[in-house]
Amino acid sequence: METIDAVTALAALAQDNRLDVFRLLVQAGPDGLPAGSVAHELGLAPNTLTFHFDRLRQAGLVTVRRDGRSMIYAARFEVMTDLLGFLTDNCCGGKPELCAPTVCKPATKTKPKTRETAP
Amino acid sequence: METIDAVTALAALAQDNRLDVFRLLVQAGPDGLPAGSVAHELGLAPNTLTFHFDRLRQAGLVTVRRDGRSMIYAARFEVMTDLLGFLTDNCCGGKPELCAPTVCKPATKTKPKTRETAP
DNA sequence: TCCATATTTCAACGATTATTGAAATATTGA
DNA sequence: TCAATATTTCAATAATCGTTGAAATATGGA
């Protein structure tokens, strides 16, 4: 992934409504969601949503297909993981073992409890 | 991580110079780098760099400490991984096994060869 | 064909952003 | 203290961004 593509993708995600939209699509999975569902779920005006979908699509983060009157948007997961990989690329000089234990670990799916206790 | 914090962090990374700066710090590891080294490495004016460091710092993505005349900036790795986790949170409805094999995998450290061949 | 639904296009507006240049501040060593 | 180095602060400018409202387009069903 090139820097310019990463910047475009990050900029697409760096807006509260678009971030909500994208995360909704990530949670929806590969089948995606119709634009109307997203609009209803997030309380966005349809034209505003089109604007945001365009940004996400130009950034390569989502795809669209038509299904009858509906447009179905879906996250492009491989682009997302490419982006995450780009951020952590060559972490700690490519020798993560030299860093503190958890420093260069890829995203850990944390399921935080009410409080963390030191081991 | 809250949406607003994620948006702030993503916005901080969604600019080519800042993305370069942050990735340089990620690669430098926990010890960080003096501002001057970063400025020299990336060819940025010192005041411009201060502006970008401020953004990264306000987003919680970097720390600073003074060392003599130099300011040493370092990436905050745990914030970075929190951000990555936020993006993939509850991926595919929390049942990634329902998705295609690699869909919800966390960032894979790809070391691309000159060309990829389909398996 | 006509109507309702679903989404997109277009123009306009105020708000935010990145960069520049000049000047200020902090630290070190002579 | 004085000069040199390293970085920050401040003001100004052009460019980009998100939202709104009104109108257009596409599809499906009566």
Q: Which residues touch strand C (CB under 7 A)?
A: A 34-36, 39, 46-47, 49-51, 53-54, 64, 69-71; B 11, 15-18, 45, 47-48, 51-52, 55, 66, 68-69
Query: Which residue reads 């990264």 in tokens?
Result: B56
The verdict on a CB contact (< 8 Å) between A81 and B11 is no
Report the nearest residue to nucleotide D5, CA vs C1': B69
Residue in chain B lying closest to A4 (CA): B16
Q: Which two tokens stand for residue A72?
A: 């179905």
**DSSP three-state, residue B87:** helix
* DSSP single-letter state for residue A37: H
Whether CB of A11 is under 7 Å from strand D: the answer is yes
Query: According to the model, what pLDDT value does residue A99 have?
Result: 72
Q: Assess whether pLDDT exceeds 90 at residue B113.
A: no
Q: Is the CB of B58 under 7 A from strand D?
A: no
Give A102 or A12, the one with higher predicted confidence: A12
Contact criterion met (CB below 8 Å) for B37 and B20: no
Q: How confident is the model at residue A118 (pLDDT cuts 50, 70, 90)?
A: very low
Residue ranges of domains in chain A? 3-79
The pLDDT, as a whole number, for residue A109 is 44
Q: Which fold has domain A3-79?
A: Arc Repressor Mutant, subunit A (1.10.10)
**How distant is C1' of D22 from CA of A15, in Å?**
26
Alpha helices in chain B (DSSP H): 3-13, 16-28, 35-42, 46-58, 77-87
Q: Where does the pLDDT of residue B48 fall: very low under 50, low under 70, confident under 90, or very high at 90 and above? A: very high
pTM of the model: 0.88
What are the tens digits of pLDDT across the range A26-69?
Answer: 999 999 999 999 999 999 999 999 999 999 999 999 999 999 99
pLDDT score of B101: 62
pLDDT tens, B34-45? 999 999 999 999
Res A104: pLDDT:
72
| Contact residues, chain B, for A106 at CB < 8 Å | 81, 84, 106-109
Of B86, B98, B109, the CB nearest to A85: B109
Cα–Cα dist A25/B101, whole Å:
17
Which phi and psi angles does A59 have, rounded to 5°? -80, -5
What Cα–Cα distance (Å) separates residue B106 from each residue in A43, A50, A56, A72, B68?
Answer: 30, 29, 20, 25, 40
Q: What percent of chain A has pLDDT over 90?
A: 74
